[in-house]
Amino acid sequence: MKKIIAGSSSPTLAKNLSLEMNVPIAEITIKRFPDGECYVRIHEKMDEAIIISNTYPNENIIELFLLQDAARKMGAEKISVIIPYYGYGRQDKVFEEGEAVSAEKIAKLIEQDADKIILVNPHKEHIINFFSVEAKICDGVPSIAEYFKGRVDAVIAPDKGALEMAKKASEIIDCEYNYFEKTRISSNEVRMEIKDMNVEGKKLLIIDDIISTGGTMIEAIELLNKQKAYEIYVSCIHGLFIENADERILKVGCKEIVTTDTIETVYSKVTVAKKIANLLKN
């Protein structure tokens, strides 16, 4: 029988996936010992396992490895690993000689006990090529765009890296899109500006893949405020919100923050469960 195994990072997403797929959630125990080590036990036999776990923060990586091991030991011949937020994905190549490529190393470790992988919006698409087993990308942008349909006049990417996301969201919302272009003025001065778009009086949605410290979003909001934007909404796929980044973002004049449920917080207003279910079915 097929079972869903919910890692401790993703209880709600696992529940939603279970409802979408009509696949039960297995009874498991996950404990942390006083020294921080992880213990997992799966209480049911299965022939197929769908494990959902982030590789963030660090302790969830070990938890995932142990869940994979336990699933094999309980009979799973096929293991699909769903990684809503692929932590360690930002180091996706050698930028400077001597660096480890964390996105690749973590992939090699996970695939030891996996037959299929699904990553939700990894930081760079080529990361799925680090897996030698079947690996697919689930895109959370349409879910965010649906939420904002009819509510904004334009979608803005805070940098060129998020431009494709902004374009895709704008096509679904049926509105304009643009991005902040960075021009280096001098060695310590960078100018950020939106070219060919007047944002005055407009309702804007800023979209990015990750909000970590919030620095990128705060800078973008402040610039749009200066240009007299009417309302600013902030969205991302993975809301890490390091050191109360959410509160700081709201404080500079953001009307609402919306993220997917890859990292479960109060801002997880849209789910990627249906998209993951479709990828698992095909």
List interacting residues with ligand R5P (CB under 6 A).
161-162, 208-216
Estimate the crossing angle of helix 102-110 against helix 58-73, to 10 degrees: 20
Q: Which is nearer to ligand R5P, 142 or 161 (CB)?
A: 161
Shortest Cβ 99–ligand R5P spacing (Å):
16
Phi and psi at residue 247, in whole multiples of 5°?
-65, -40
CA dist 232 and 168 (Å) reads 19
Task: Quickly list H helices, the chain.
Answer: 11-21, 58-73, 102-110, 141-148, 163-173, 215-226, 245-251, 273-281
Residue 189, H or E segment: strand 189-194
Task: Establish whether 226 is a catalytic residue.
Answer: no
CA dist 178 and 204 (Å) reads 10
Q: Which is nearer to ligand R5P, 8 or 213 (CB)?
A: 213
Q: Which is nearer to ligand R5P, 14 or 258 (CB)?
A: 258
Q: Which is nearer to ligand R5P, 19 or 242 (CB)?
A: 242
Shortest Cβ 56–ligand R5P spacing (Å):
12
Report DSSP letters for 98-134, one per residue: T---HHHHHHHHHGGG-SEEEEES-SSGGGGGG-SSE
Shortest Cβ 88–ligand R5P spacing (Å):
13
Report DSSP letters for 252-264, one per residue: TT-SEEEEESSS-
Q: From the candidates 93, 182, 251, 255, give the one annotated as an active-site residue.
A: 182
Q: Which is nearer to ligand R5P, 121 or 143 (CB)?
A: 121
Q: Which of 263, 9, 209, 237 is nearest to 90 (CA)?
A: 209
Shortest Cβ 225–ligand R5P spacing (Å):
17
Shortest Cβ 67–ligand R5P spacing (Å):
27
List active site positions: 182
